[in-house]
Chain A
Amino acid sequence: MSEAPLQKHPDAASRDYDGEAFIVVPGLGEYNILNPIGTRVWDLIDGRRGLSDIVRVISDEYEVPAEVAEADVTSFVEDLRKHKMLA
């Protein structure tokens, strides 16, 4: 699992509405809304934590086995990359 810090796209604008992050990346012409767990992952992407750090937090907070958290967070982060929401 990559230890490289994950960073949000520098142009991403976001607000939290009732635990759901609303994210706009200028230039892409689309809006994205994350569910509460996705929002928690988004909040943990701070330019310092890597994938394994985030998996650990999610595994602890949501009380799911590490391998389940790893599979889900990895897939979610790939989604974020696909939508150009990460740097």
Chain B
Amino acid sequence: MQATLKNEDMPHGNGKTNPYADLVARSWNNAMPMTALWEITYACNHKCTFCYNSPTKGARELSANEIKDGLRKIADLGCVFVVFSGGEPLTRPDFFEIAWAAKKLGFAIRVYTNGYLVDEIVARKFKELMPFEIEISFHGSRPESFDRLTGIPGSFHRVIQGIKNLRAHDLKVNLKTPITKWNQDELRGIKAIGEEYGCHVEFDPTITPRDDGDTSPLALQADMEFLDRLWSSEFADITHEESPVPRDDSKVKAVCGTGRSTIALDPYGNFFPCVQWRRKAGNITEVEDLRTFWRVSPVLNEVRRIAEEIPETTLKDFEFGRFASFCAGVAEVQTGDPKNIYPQLRANAEVRAANHAKFVTIQSRQSEGTR
């Protein structure tokens, strides 16, 4: 008998295979999602102008019991991670009732929150729940920029206190910062705040339209001059790349995991192939056998097919295609076609390609100089 325990850390992106990477690859290839992202409410106590949510007027958000029933179906689908998002999930008075139901169903729980409501009592409830991680949207290193982006005076100090309350219980907290023109000069300050409280910080350079196609959030995008610096070695500590690294197309089949790695749900129970691509596949309250439905759904099969075509068509024809982080959902909502290049993709890919070329030239000169 060889009842060995196979234990591996997270893959480090070094190309080596490990059992976890193999499992993720299997999940991707077989389109069996390991993660469910559920926006359990669109209510929010912040007023971020760049938020992508677009609530449906008059629609009823699911009750705690309906969500619990949906969680059972998602567990049967095979998801082990559930992400509670919003809106602001903590505005639901029944948030912990829902989260505990998820825990009893064997989920590892992630919570996407703005941290504003995390006082001592809420932090203690989190300690009892013991989620896998809590991710807090964090918008600036100064109260002025932070509060301007959230639209709520005093939010910076409240959120910092929320982070302190969670970290006092040794809970894993990550910070996530969408880069906008109002905070683009504060990335190092935000990173320093993360380090001060023991939080990993992720930065996202792409602002997306609202889910209903409203492009007004794009007005807050970081400017081109800044993006050019962001993708240079100056910000290697932020982007984790000394120079932008081109995608290896020999290893890519689908452009992303839409319809494969994650199921996304809105507060009304509608579910989608991912959080960005809002093609409704069904409603969780109306589907009993989600595992079969997920496999045969025409909507899901179509988005999977399109995602596989994009590297062979759109990105192959696009001169900066190997530097593009393409999102078919954003393409569809912004241009009407999931295979179209959209402006912020072009901007990021262009500066990444240019910085990669500069880096290669410098390296080649250095190498000649050492001969």
Question: Chain A interface (Cβ within 8 Å of chain B)?
Answer: 11, 13-15, 17-18, 20, 22, 24, 26-27, 29-35, 37-38, 41, 58, 62, 64, 68-69, 72-73, 76, 79-80, 83
Contacts and interface: CB of A to CB of B under 8 A. Distances in A.
Contacts, number: 97
Given A13-B108, A30-B10, A22 B4 contact: no
Contact of A73 (B3, B20, B131): B3
A17 B3 CA distance: 17
A30 B9 contact: yes
B8 A33 contact: yes
B190 to A, nearest CB: 22
B370 interface: no
A68 B3 CA distance: 11
Given A24-B108, A30-B9, A37-B1, 4 more contacts: A17-B27, A17-B78, A72-B3, A79-B5
A74 to B, nearest CB: 10
Q: Which 5 A-B pairs have the closest CB atoms?
A: A13-B108, A15-B80, A37-B3, A24-B108, A79-B5
Instruction: Determine the interface band of chain B, counting residues with CB < 8 A from chain A.
Output: 20 to 34
Contact of A13 (B10, B78, B132, B172): B132
A83 B4 CA distance: 13
A2 to B, nearest CB: 17
Contact of A18 (B4, B7, B10, B26): B26
Given A15-B106, A76-B5, A26 B131 contact: yes
Contact of A31 (B4, B8, B107): B8
Interface of B: 1-10, 19-20, 23, 26-27, 32, 34, 75, 78-81, 103, 106-109, 130-133, 170, 172
B125 to A, nearest CB: 14
B3 A22 contact: no
B8 A58 contact: no
Contacts of A69: 1
A20 B23 contact: yes
Nearest to A68: B1
B112 to A, nearest CB: 16
Contacts of A13: 80-81, 103, 106-109, 132
Contacts of B1: 37, 58, 62, 64, 68-69, 72
A31 B19 CA distance: 10
B214 to A, nearest CB: 37
A32 B106 contact: no
Contacts of B26: 17-18
Contacts of B132: 13, 24, 26
